[in-house]
Amino acid sequence: MERLLTGLVDFSIKKVISVRPARLEVVYNRETCCPQCGSLRKRIKASFWRKINSTPQQGHPVTLLVYC
């Protein structure tokens, strides 16, 4: 069901902010690694919200908010 709403694999819905237009707060469920060295060790330098315009559902836009 969540893949149908987000249009993305490995994301799950954390919170529904609004229905029309759909605004969903989502979380990435897979382990991330460094793109350069492939290490799983990481440290957080800064956090921010990323806004993603996802595939429209039934003709209505869907916006995903991802905490990065």
CA gap 53, 2 in Å, rounded: 15
Host domain of residue 20: 11-66
Q: Does residue 5 lie within any of the structural domains?
A: no
CA gap 24, 14 in Å, rounded: 8
Whether the model pTM is above 0.85? no
pLDDT value of position 31: 84
Q: Does residue 16 lie within any of the structural domains?
A: yes
From first to last of its 68 residues, the chain has per-residue pLDDT tens of 455 555 667 778 888 888 777 788 888 888 888 778 888 887 777 778 888 887 777 777 878 888 77
Number of structural domains in the chain: 1
Total residues found in the chain within this entry: 68
